[in-house]
Amino acid sequence: MDLSVDLNDKQLKAVKTTEGPVLVLAGAGSGKTRALTYRIAYLLNQGVDPYNILTLTFTNKAASDMKRKVKELIGKISTKMWMGTFHSVCVRIIGQNLEELGYEKGFVIYDQDESKALISDIILTFNLDTDKYDPKIVLNIINKAKMNMWNKRDLVNNFLKNEEGSQEYYKNIADIYIKYNEVLKENNAFDFNDLIAKTIELFDNNKEILEKYQSRFKYILIDEYQDTSPFQYKLASMLAKKHGNIFVVGDDYQSIYKFRGADMSNILNFNQDYPNCTTIKLEQNYRSKANIIEASNVLIAHNYQQFDKKAWTNKNSGEPLIICEAINEYSEADYVAEEIDNLVRFSGYNYNDIAILYRSNHQSRVLEEAFIRRRIPYHIVGGLGFYDRKEIKDIISYLKVAVNPQDTIAMKRIVNAPKRGIGAKTLDKLITHAQEYVPEFNLLSFAQEDNNLGLFDIMKDPSGVSGIGKATANKIKKFRRDLEDIITVKESRLSLPEQVDKILKVSGYQAMLELDGSETALNRLENLGEFLSLTENYYNKNQNRSLEDFVRDIKLLSDQDDINSSNQVKMMTVHSSKGLEYPIVFIVGLEEDNFPHYRSVKTGLLDEIEEERRLCYVAMTRAADRLFMSYARERQRYGETRSMAPSRFLDEIPVEYTLEKVHHRGL
């Protein structure tokens, strides 16, 4: 491994500065992943025990790519080295310390849909107006509270200070927050925010456990540091406190996840948190032609809250940026489709060399129509992914109940799949009965008595539940026996793929689709076949992984894990494009109130507009060879045709980097 050949001077410095805190400001396309992977390989070559290295990433894809590249550099990677997302690493820590947190083996992880379903149940239990207390909005508030580590009082005070709404409104949401945490605990479940928050709680309450992990992780490496949230920042700080060898890589120019809880001040203040840190700037761009880099440099220079750095490249200028003015969104979509046709037919590009980026998901519709007309193959990244399909969610819910029979959300999903004659109201009566004697919940300690009955327990004999007759009680008992059969499969000595296959059969779900025989049912059976293949692949990689591990791991997938390599144009939001690159990029819908988004414009706040500008910068720097940017003079919004003004970001790009504006009049 000849570092001087493979790395530039700044990358080499980042790799070899192994001791003490290091901040690497890595511009777009500057080879930050290369610096990270070479640093890991360098540490191992210097004799550092892989047991002492922790690498934290933001996507499973990033972690997999790093593992592959490190393996290429040094050969087999030791399983003693931890490398993964914040969430996956926290799952490992939690799994090793369940007893201290008061949880049992077989815990499950709730995704956003399952959390929303749980909140819907609680809103009904509290007899609150579901129009006023929309479960999605309530979940967003609760997520924000968890990411900022707020207690009940903090939630009320912070939202009253910064948002519209009455004190009563936020007090009720705070009560839902407490009850939500309580029911999660009863269900032996964590939501995504819990994975980090509970790890911090574990460390706060058990200094000897914290000391164990601090001693182990002598070298901590964190990718995309600008995207860390307050509690990710706290977790990293706790782990790095003993040895101080914390190496963070990021780009404040690409901080675009504030809505997910990211706090850009974490990277901006790193050298204040660690006064003796070494700061290294990676400014040479290896991805894009010079015109793209220079134009994006000028754009981002309009922001104030950022480090001083400037990307540069040895590449030639390349083609000028193309800016298209279309009469409406249909004309814009036709223009994009026409250009793609030309690029593929006459310029030697493939469809999978091309990405379409937009600010909001709804913008994909007219583009899809144009692509279908021209027979252009496409794939929507972050659309209805494999794991979002009904049949996949259903079978995962069966697996979750096999692992954790107290999971009421999974139970509600499968109770009538196949139909068993047990209505939603009946299940709600059982849940209410199960929760009736829950003791007062302590948010700090998550303390709970052991004598509470769960839904699964009550189903054994539901005759004492108010409002449930004998016939319904018998159906519930039968359902309970079916679940017992599924749990027996989980406890058997069958391999993981065999367990999943048998649960599909024992549950009656596979037979239900086979008896249906419709095209939809047959498609669902094909997807279940794909799920079995996925299970087999998972098992083949590590035959020691259990059904519990499998259920948890498939919950930790991100939008980018859905990106396929087939020859299709990729369509996605700019947020989903972060970390990706394509030879050709189209950025569509560059209009005021669209990009920048109207919510950011409406606030009038500098930091909101600056985040939108960073988002545009990210979109532009995905392009390697050519960049097309377009806007519409008119666009339908909420059923009305509105006149649109070009985005201010287009005005901020100097004319010397663009062609004279292209006008497209549509079909």
Q: Which residues are catalytic?
A: 32-33, 223-224, 254, 622
Locate the DSSP E strands across 35-153.
Answer: 53-57, 82-85, 108-110
Give Dmax (Cα) for the chain: 80
Is 28 labelled a binding residue? Answer: yes
Beta strand 623-632 pairing with 582-587:
parallel
Long-range contacts of 115-121 (CB under 8 A, 24+ apart): 115/139, 115/180, 115/191, 117/409, 117/412, 117/413, 118/180, 118/183, 118/184, 118/408, 118/409, 119/176, 119/180, 121/183, 121/408, 121/428, 121/431
Is 32 labelled a binding residue? Answer: yes
Is 454 labelled a binding residue? Answer: no
CA-to-CA dists, residue 88 to 82, 220, 337, 431, 461, angstroms: 10, 15, 40, 31, 38
Distance, CA of 578 to CA of 29 (rounded, Å): 11
Is 265 labelled a binding residue? Answer: no
- Write the CB contacts of 55 (distance below 8 Å, at least 6 apart in sequence): 36, 40, 63, 66, 81, 82, 83, 84, 220, 221, 222, 223
Q: What's the gap between Cα 346 and its chain centre?
A: 38
**Terminal-residue alpha carbon distance, the chain:** 56
Strand partners, 322: 628
Q: Which of 640, 645, 628, 639 is nearest to 594 (CA)?
A: 645
249 contacts 35 by C-beta, under 8 angstroms: yes
**How many other C-beta atoms can be found within 10 angstroms of the C-beta atom of residue 653?**
21
CA-to-CA dists, residue 190 to 4, 63, 97, 261, 452, angstroms: 46, 23, 14, 18, 19
Is 31 labelled a binding residue? Answer: yes
Q: Which of 578, 571, 551 is nearest to 251 (CA)?
A: 578
3 state DSSP class of 497 = helix
Strand partners, 356: 571, 586
Is 464 labelled a binding residue? Answer: no
Question: Measured on CA atoms in the order 503, 504, 508, 511, is the torsion positive or negative?
Answer: negative
Tell the burial category of 209 from Cβ atoms under 10 Å away from its Cβ (0-12, 13-18, 19+): middle
Annotated binding site: 26-33
What are the binding residues for ATP?
26-33
